[in-house]
Structure 1
């Protein structure tokens, strides 16, 4: 007779835990505060000066790469003209 009571209690615990967690974590104010805080930590607001520094760095790297490619092309062109 006592076995079914234990089974009912276990089943109530098994069902109430996920429902309770869903209810707790699905509160809009908790979720909104947590998400806003986490988003600001992971993705801070963009700073204009940082963006400009990044763009400058990208431009410098592209120019450097173009110069290296031009240098290689000129060397290959010189070698080709010498062998002809």
Structure 2
């Protein structure tokens, strides 16, 4: 084993490493350019098109459900 100076150094490293990584992780200014580039890649124009397609599909399903419910209500009124 090492002497006491080595043990103090190891303890300092063990205690400071999580603190330093936490600090660097939460410095948004350091990573802002990289973050914007990743966002541009992730949310491309294809996503906007697929999002519009999804909204259109959702609206079509909603209209179909409304028609089915209206038919059921009409049948209930007839009884």
Q: TM exceeds 0.5?
A: yes
Q: Does 1:68 align with 2:68?
A: yes
The answer for unaligned runs of 5 or more in structure 1 is 80-84
What TM-score, normalized by structure 1, do the two folds share? 0.55
**Could you say which structure has the greater relative contact order, defined with CA pairs below 8 angstroms and 6 or more residues apart?**
1
- The Cα RMSD (Å) is 3.3
Q: CA deviation at 1:58?
A: 2.4
- Correspondence 1:9-24 to 2 at 5 A: 9-18=9-18, 21=21
Change beyond 3 A, Cα 1:12–1:53: closer
Q: Which residue in 2 is equivalent to 1:39?
A: 39
Aligned counterparts of 2:14 and 2:53: Cα–Cα separation in 1: 55
1:19-44 Cα distance to aligned partner (Å, 9 max, x none): 5545765471xx224423443454x1
Change beyond 3 A, Cα 1:19–1:72: closer
The answer for unaligned runs of 5 or more in structure 2 is none
